[in-house]
Structure formats: C-alpha cells, structure tokens
Amino acid sequence: MRLINKDEINNLESRKRAALINSLIGVKAANMIGTQDQQSVHNLSLISSLFHLGASPAMFGFVIRPDSVARDTLNNLRMHPFLTINHVNSNIVKNAHQTSARYDSEVSEFDKCELESEYLNDHPAPFVKESKIKFSAKMLREIKIPENGTHILICEIIDVHLAPSTLGDDFFIDITKTDTVGVSGLDQYLDLKALGRLSYAKPKMALKWLKL
Amino acid sequence: MRLINKDEINNLESRKRAALINSLIGVKAANMIGTQDQQSVHNLSLISSLFHLGASPAMFGFVIRPDSVARDTLNNLRMHPFLTINHVNSNIVKNAHQTSARYDSEVSEFDKCELESEYLNDHPAPFVKESKIKFSAKMLREIKIPENGTHILICEIIDVHLAPSTLGDDFFIDITKTDTVGVSGLDQYLDLKALGRLSYAKPKMALKWLKL
C-alpha cells in the first residue's frame, strides 16, 4: 500500500491536493441545481456533494464553496430559497459538465450548455427537461463551516418527477434504468451497473441477493 | 413523467417513503467507518452519506441518525474522535452490508462480518485490511440538525493509504481500478465503469474527453 501522510498532503501542489482529496471519498452523485435570480435569470450548476439527511421529513443537504462557480446558486437561494435537483444521465454528461464553467451572473447556463428548462407543478425554479429523475426543494437553513468558509445548505424535498420505469412497487428508484451517472473527483464520470439488492441485514442471518 | 407530489410523499407508508427518499439523490459512496470504544472494542459501520468539504484543509462530512445502527459510532467518536474510512469493493460487498445489522455494543463487527482489522501509521482507530483505499481522520465538530435530530459530523483527513495502481501522476485516484462500489438507496450495490475524464470547463471552449 502507498502511504500519503498528512505532511505529504499538506505539501502537495494545490491542484494535486485537490485531485487527491476530491477523489478520496468514492463515487458521488452527479446532479444539476436549478435556481432563478430576482431578474428571472435561470442558473444551473453541477453539484456533486448532495447527501441524504432523512426521509421524514424528506430532507437532503449539499455543500457550496464561496469561491466556486456555484456562488450564483448561493446568492440566488439567499434571495429566493427554491431550487430543483436534476440527475445527470449519460446523454447529457458534457452539457452538465459545461455548467461548471464560470459564466457571468446574467447568463443562463441552460442556453450556453444546450439544456432545455421547464417549469413543473407551479414550482418557481426551473427543471432540466432532459433529466429523467428530478425533484423540487426549498432551502431551510445555511450552516457555515468555520474551518474553511464553506456552506452546508439544508433543504426539504417538495415534489418528485421521474420516468415511470424507474419506480418499483416498493417505491425504490432504480437509477440504472435511466442511465444516471456518477462522478469521481472533479472530472471523471462513471457509468453505473447494478450488482443487485441485498436483503435486510440482521445478526446471525445470512444475506441474500434479492430476486426482483 | 410520474409526479409524486408532497402530499403523496407525506402519506406514503414509512418503508416506501424511506425507499423513495433514500434512492432519490443518486449514487452514493459505500464506505465503512472504523472506530474504537473506551474498552478497545472495535466498531465498524457502513455509511453512505460522506461528502467532500474541502481540500485545504482536507475535510469531509457525514451524517449519523440517532436511531440508526451507527449510533455506536457516534458514541465512540464523542469519547475518542479518531476514525477510519474504508472503501467497499466488490469482493467485500456482503461483509460490508452485514455491518449494518444491529449488533450489541460490546460486539466487534469485524469479527461478526468476517473482515480483518489492522492498525496503520500509529492511528488509534482500526482500518479494514481488505479495503484498498482508506484514510484516517479526526472528528472536528458535530452539528445537530433541528428538523430531524440527525447529526452532521465534520472531520479532517489525516493519512491516506491506497493501492499504488489507483494513484495517477496528477494524484487523481481512479476508484474503478480497485472495484470500489457505489450504493443506491438502502440496499442496491452498483459496479462503477469509467466513462472517461472531461477537460476543465470554460465558457466558449468545447469539452474533450481526456486521453490518459
């Protein structure tokens, strides 16, 4: 095994340190966040830090760095706390990655990245039409992390929109049926293939792959 | 598209709501957290909520629900804030999933789930020997989320240990070279295949798949 100790990490040139630490935690969900500013300019931003917070109430969180491209997203949410989350699928990987370019605030990433916006069920923020699993949300709170000035945004899920083929009778969403992709580090995209679903784990009980 | 609106989500039977909301955000990294209690009993727990917080200092966060199997992990970290994060690979998917069973506090999941513990570079928490990408960390702070009583734990990365074949000259870790898996929802495991790495996104510049 190769050891990269704390001193070596601290002394790495900043691009190398960013590459290492961004790819260290494993695969991340690739999503696009849609928001709208007060002049009704759409903003769309790739985000890979979404995490599950709870099902009841239905909540999630994500991270925004103040110096990142997503700063427009943060500014918009402070004015108007509604957003959409849109899965990236293999057909729109390049379009989604392009939303991470530093466009001016008055520019809509939908136009520049050739993605179509749509409004669904009276939600005030725009969805990505090409996305096959997407949901609307409201930001509830912002938590600043003193060690590095990042913000964790805590959100509540409102409505879910998805391709019917992905939804099982048990309400599990099979993301492999819509070619949803993952991302590792800052720029590697990953295709996802189902190994299977495992039975509920209990002490002294052998696990089984579920037949679905 | 199928709409599942807020009322339908709220009225879902709790297992269905958990299945839906847990699988909604997309693929999650499958990791195991190693800790140690004051009687030196090892604890190992599957965790799928890790998120990147920043590269300088090298930080990440994760979520623990107070009613989950990971409550032993939280208790241990409050006494002794050192932990390890260990990637799940395709050879140890069942062992890793089995760590999510509710074992008594005085039981080591390493023994019950047939995983070997090891200590590396004087770090006080145990690593999973079978894991090919792993790192040590220290918990810096705990943030309680009032809406649902979950805790977000903020951690600093100490040392990284990995199979040399995964580390590129640019310090990007290619997790597909060690068969690291992802997880969707509570029980679906996913194999990861590289689509490729995309060039840095800039306005008015066409993206390219990088040749590596």
Q: What pLDDT does residue B39 have?
A: 82
Q: What DSSP string describes B121-171?
A: TT-SSPEETT-SEEEEEEEEEEEE-TTT--EEEEEEEEEEEE-GGGB-TT-
Q: What pLDDT does residue B89 have?
A: 98
Q: What DSSP string describes A124-159?
A: SSPEETT-SEEEEEEEEEEEE-TTT--EEEEEEEEE
| pLDDT, averaged across chain B | 95
CB-CB neighbors (< 8 A) of A158 in chain B? 5-6
Q: Kindly report which listed range (A135-149, B59-73, B136-150, B170-184) carries the lowest average pLDDT score.
A: B59-73
Q: Do B148 and A54 touch (CB under 8 A)?
A: yes
Q: Nearest by CB to B160, from A9, A160, A164: name it.
A: A9
Residue B187 has pLDDT above 80, yes or no: yes
Interface test with A, best of B3, B4, B24 (most A CBs within 10 A): B24
Percent of chain A with pLDDT over 90: 89
Question: In the structure, what pLDDT confidence band is assigned to residue A158 with cuts at 50, 70 and 90?
Answer: very high
Q: What pLDDT does residue A141 have?
A: 96
Q: What pLDDT does residue B67 have?
A: 75
**pLDDT tens digits along B46-97:** 999 999 999 999 999 999 987 777 778 999 999 999 999 999 999 999 999 9
Domain count, chain B: 1
Inside any domain, residue A200: no
CA of B170 to nearest chain A CA: how many angstroms apart? 6
Q: Do A52 and B25 touch (CB under 8 A)?
A: yes
Q: Do A21 and B58 touch (CB under 8 A)?
A: yes
Q: What pLDDT does residue B84 have?
A: 98
Q: Nearest by CB to B3, from A50, A147, A161: name it.
A: A161
Question: In the structure, what pLDDT confidence band is assigned to residue A106 with cuts at 50, 70 and 90?
Answer: confident
**pLDDT tens digits along B156-170:** 999 999 999 999 999
Inside any domain, residue B151: yes
Residues 110-129 of A with CB under 8 A from B: 112, 120-121
CA of B89 to nearest chain A CA: how many angstroms apart? 11
Mean pLDDT across the stretch A107-119? 95
Inside any domain, residue B91: yes
CB-CB neighbors (< 8 A) of A29 in chain B? 25-28
Q: Nearest by CB to A197, from B25, B188, B199: name it.
A: B188
Inside any domain, residue A203: no
| pLDDT, averaged across chain A | 95
Inside any domain, residue A84: yes
Inside any domain, residue A1: no
Q: Nearest by CB to A170, from B19, B21, B162: name it.
A: B19
A66 and chain B: CB distance < 8 Å anywhere? no
B85 and chain A: CB distance < 8 Å anywhere? yes
**pLDDT tens digits along B60-70:** 999 998 777 77
Q: Do B195 and A26 touch (CB under 8 A)?
A: no
Q: Nearest by CB to A170, from B16, B55, B200: name it.
A: B16
A152 and chain B: CB distance < 8 Å anywhere? yes
Inside any domain, residue B8: no
Q: Do B52 and A22 touch (CB under 8 A)?
A: yes
Residues 30-59 of B with CB under 8 A from A: 30-31, 48-59
Question: In the structure, what pLDDT confidence band is assigned to residue A202 with cuts at 50, 70 and 90?
Answer: very high
Mean pLDDT across the stretch A62-76? 85
Query: Strand, helix or coil at A32?
Result: strand
Q: What pLDDT does residue A67 have?
A: 75
Q: Nearest by CB to A31, from B4, B26, B160: name it.
A: B26
Question: In the structure, what pLDDT confidence band is assigned to residue B203 with cuts at 50, 70 and 90?
Answer: very high
**pLDDT tens digits along B21-34:** 999 999 999 999 99
CB-CB neighbors (< 8 A) of A21 in chain B? 52, 54-55, 58, 157
In the DSSP assignment, the letter for residue A89 is B
Question: In the structure, what pLDDT confidence band is assigned to residue A40 with cuts at 50, 70 and 90?
Answer: confident
Question: In the structure, what pLDDT confidence band is assigned to residue B131 with cuts at 50, 70 and 90?
Answer: very high
Inside any domain, residue B135: yes
Q: Nearest by CB to A27, from B158, B192, B198: name it.
A: B192
Mean pLDDT across the stretch A171-188? 97
Residue A211 has pLDDT above 90, yes or no: no
Question: In the structure, what pLDDT confidence band is assigned to residue A105 with cuts at 50, 70 and 90?
Answer: confident
- The interface pTM score, or ipTM, of the predicted complex is 0.96
Q: Do A63 and B52 touch (CB under 8 A)?
A: yes
Structural domain span for residue A117: 9-190
Q: H or E element: which one contains A71? A: helix A71-79
Q: What pLDDT does residue A71 have?
A: 77
Q: What pLDDT does residue A68 have?
A: 75
Q: What pLDDT does residue A160 have?
A: 98
Residue B139 has pLDDT above 80, yes or no: yes
Q: What is the CATH number of the domain that holds B40?
A: 2.30.110.10
Q: What DSSP string describes chain B?
A: -EEE-HHHHHHS-HHHHHHHHHTTS--EE-EEEEEE-TT--EEEEEE---EEEEETTEEEEEEE-TTSTTHHHHHHHHHS-EEEEEE-BGGGHHHHHHTTS---TTS-HHHHTT--EE--TT-SSPEETT-SEEEEEEEEEEEE-TTT--EEEEEEEEEEEE-GGGB-TT--B-GGGGTB-EEETTTEEEEEEEEEEBPPP-TT----BPP-
